[in-house]
Chain A
Amino acid sequence: MQYVLLFQENAEERGKRTDPVAAGPYWGSWSAYMGAIAQAGVMVGGNGLQPPETGTTLRIENGTRHVVDGPFADTKEALGGYVVLEVADLDAALEWAARAPCAAAGSVEIRLVMAPPAG
């Protein structure tokens, strides 16, 4: 089964990426986590994402394009990255989710990848 783990970080956690003191442990934790996933042979793929303020949102309403700077909605937590895992079941996916550095400073959403339509 393939599961996507969506890593949601709060603003404080995101701020650690560029904080002179916190950046070392922040990136160290993520690289250890990604390394452990790879080591276990369950990694299908994944990426970290630039912060939400670098994003752009597009929407078409009545044929008109609306392009807005920043994320679709301003929320406390924002998507910081994702991985796709090949694991046996939801319990195994939950176990990996609990190990994510943002699990204690945000949340991890777990979604089952849709199987391609038959035929």
Chain B
Amino acid sequence: MDAARRRSSAVAEQAARASYGRLLALVSARTRDIAAAEDALAEAFAAALAQWGEQGVPANPEAWLLTVARRAAGHQQARAATASRAGDVLALLAEEREDAAASPFSDQRLALLFVCAHPAIDPDAQAPLMLQTVLGLDASRIAAAFLVSSGAMGQRLVRAKRKIRDAGIAFAVPDPADAPQRLGGVLSAIYAAYGTAWDDTLGADSRLAGLRGEALFLARLIAELMPDQPEALGLLALILHCEARQPARRAPDGTFVPLHAQDPLLWSREMVVEAEAALRRAATFGAPGRFQTEAAIQSLHAHQRMTGERFTGPLARLYDVLAGIAPTTGVMVARAVAHAENGASSAAHEQLRAMTGTQTYQPWWAALARVSWLAGDAQGAAAAAATAAGLSADPAIRAFLLGGGYRFAAGGANVGKRG
């Protein structure tokens, strides 16, 4: 009895993890009410835990969960029913009969992703909303990843869901004419989730390491669901290149290892191969964009490390292209460093000095340290590195900067540290 109960709760848990987003998308697609769909799904999982232990696990656990969740959602709707919504309730219950036996279900997750990244939704809420609805992460975990209090994150998510319901945002994949533009929002939100986990931890915090994996999951999902969108492939290639380097970013003693000193043999070969394939496929569409360009930059970095050949010129030019498409603060800072690595350190210095709003932006100070050192200003470099260290939340990065990690030959040639 106990063993059966344990097994049933294990099956329910597995179904929850594997199909949460698909089930939530299916339930909320009709009602457009994500919060209500979450409640319905929670009810279904609770019922599963109670019943499966006694009656055994059903042949198709997902279909069972969907049926119960739809019924719960239908009841909720009926309670709150207005004349205009009654039709939705009937349709919802009709769908229950239609695909109760069908598996795999139609995949509504893509529609759900587009809803989460709708322009009417607060941009700060988009990536968290995707993580919660498609992956089922709870608000406090998402809050920790985005470094806001869990109360504030909960509020943000509640507001976003209310907006979706009250504004009647359609659960649909935009038509091909609108798709590329709307897709940009979806991709940016996924990239933001990945970047949050990448910047703040370097794999030290297992919760954030999980978030990286989840962003990769979303990137793969969207590339799989929209295989003819080159930017979706570009984002996948970009995330894969970064993720492949995870095992090499820290020495066994926990110290930070910058890209120019990493051992490419420690990189995930499978991920590099998958990244290059995605990037090549993206290139066949002849429609370059932000994520393809960023992926191309990471691809060149990888080739540089693997072959020992230097690509500082092409890298600086690719950053110029990227700055033309997406002149974000992060891109402009990285571009300045790329120019300095290519020998133009005083131009790079001017580019950094011309930027505004970077007073507490850690990468700007780290870039200033590097560019100043390449320009021969050791004192200025040390001062900038100290500020960058003070702005970093990662002890390994702090130690790296205070220890003079920014002092190495231009272009990252592997000659060991100087000075």
A interface residues with partner B (beta carbon < 8 Å): 25, 28-29, 31-37, 39-41, 90-91, 94-95, 98-99, 101, 103-104
Contact = CB atoms under 8 A, between A and B. Distances in A.
Given A25-B402, A28-B402, A99 B392 contact: yes
A32 B386 contact: yes
B387 A39 contact: yes
B410 interface: no
B395 A35 contact: no
B175 to A, nearest CB: 37
A33 B390 contact: yes
Interface stretch (B15-23, B62-70, B146-154, B159-167): B146-154
B398 interface: yes
A99 B393 contact: yes
B152 A29 contact: no
Nearest to B200: A98
Contacts of B387: 32, 35-36, 39
B323 interface: no
Contacts of B103: none
B106 interface: no
Determine the main DSSP class of B at the interface with A. Answer: helix
Interface string B186-217: 00000000000000100010000000000000
Best-buried of A35, A94, A98, A99 by chain B (most CB within 10 Å): A99
Nearest to A40: B360
A94 B399 contact: no
A91 B387 CA distance: 21
B391 interface: yes
Contacts of A103: 393
A36 B398 CA distance: 12
B359 interface: yes
A104 to B, nearest CB: 5
Contact of B390 (A34, A94, A98, A104): A34
13 contacts: A28-B386, A29-B390, A29-B395, A29-B402, A32-B386, A32-B402, A37-B390, A91-B147, A91-B149, A91-B152, A95-B147, A95-B360, A98-B393
